[in-house]
Amino acid sequence: MIEFTLWDIVRNLLLAARWTVLLSIVAFVGGALVGLVILFLRIAKNKWARRFSSGYIALFQGTPLLMQLFLMFFGLPMLGFRIEPWTAAVLGLTFFASAYLAEIWRSGVDALPRGQWDAGASLGLHYLQELRLIILPQAFSITRAPAVGFLVQLVKATALTSIIGFEELVRTSNAINNATFEPFTVYGLVALIFFVICFPLTQYARMLEARSARH
């Protein structure tokens, strides 16, 4: 058994937590960009675009994230693509996040009265201008709280990337536990770190929800 002081355990876990935070940010930003495209297709006038986006959302919401990560990490190399754990983790979480964010934002668009579209049309705005200037700003404002709430879920979902070999917080904690045989200390600290990351986001989401309810 390797001798680890408490500070050694904490320091190594904090170093690993950097990758958890970075992966969460990259996946959320990537998911937002892809999700925006899916949102445009989801509310498009073309029925085939709507069907494609509906199928995309159903696929990524209706299958386990772990299976999606496995397909990225083990499936893509079989098609000739060399892929590292970091890339597989980013791709898997990005597609996963895009499906949920697109649906969150679609609910915001649907919540707006039809008069908003009619007002834009009466001003001579074409479809894309209506979306950019009138519809999307209001939809994003309405759905800020659930979007931040989803970010909390995404941070916790990064733990699954340890299965494909990505060296984030959980995988590092497993290695430390195997070396120290102190599961209560190691995993207790991991839970505390996740709490420190997620709790401010949860409170922020609640604040946004309360503000939205007041308005």
Domain count, the chain: 1
Instruction: Name residues whose C-beta falls within 8 Å of residue 84's C-beta, 6 or more positions apart in sequence.
Output: none
Select from 205, 37, 215, 52 the least CA-distant residue to 138: 215
The predicted-structure confidence for 14-29, as pLDDT tens digits, reads as follows 999 999 999 999 999 9
SS3 182: coil
Enclosing domain of residue 162: 6-214
Asked whether residue 123 is domain-assigned, the answer is yes
Q: Which is higher by pLDDT, 116 or 69?
A: 69
The predicted-structure confidence for 99-131, as pLDDT tens digits, reads as follows 999 999 999 999 888 877 777 777 777 778 888
Q: What is the mean pLDDT of residues 88-94?
A: 97
Q: Among residues of the chain, what percentage have pLDDT more than 90? A: 73
The average confidence (pLDDT) of the chain is 92
Asked whether residue 178 is domain-assigned, the answer is yes
What does the longest C-alpha to C-alpha distance in the chain come to? 74
| pLDDT of 153 over the 60 cut | yes
Q: Say whether pTM exceeds 0.75.
A: yes
The CATH number of whichever domain residue 138 belongs to comes to: 1.10.3720.10
* Interatomic CA distance for residues 103 and 57, integer angstroms: 8
Asked whether residue 141 is domain-assigned, the answer is yes
pLDDT at 25: 97
* Interatomic CA distance for residues 160 and 174, integer angstroms: 13
pLDDT at 215: 63
Asked whether residue 135 is domain-assigned, the answer is yes
Q: Name the residue type at position 135.
A: I
Q: What are phi and psi of 124, to 5 degrees?
A: 85, 15
Q: At what angle do helices 183-214 and 144-157 cross, to 10 degrees?
A: 170
Check if the beta carbon of residue 180 is closer than 8 Å to that of residue 141.
no
The predicted-structure confidence for 30-65, as pLDDT tens digits, reads as follows 999 999 999 999 999 899 999 999 999 999 999 999
Asked whether residue 19 is domain-assigned, the answer is yes
* Interatomic CA distance for residues 101 and 118, integer angstroms: 26
Asked whether residue 1 is domain-assigned, the answer is no
Structure tokens at 143: 């759905």
Structure tokens at 126: 């074409």
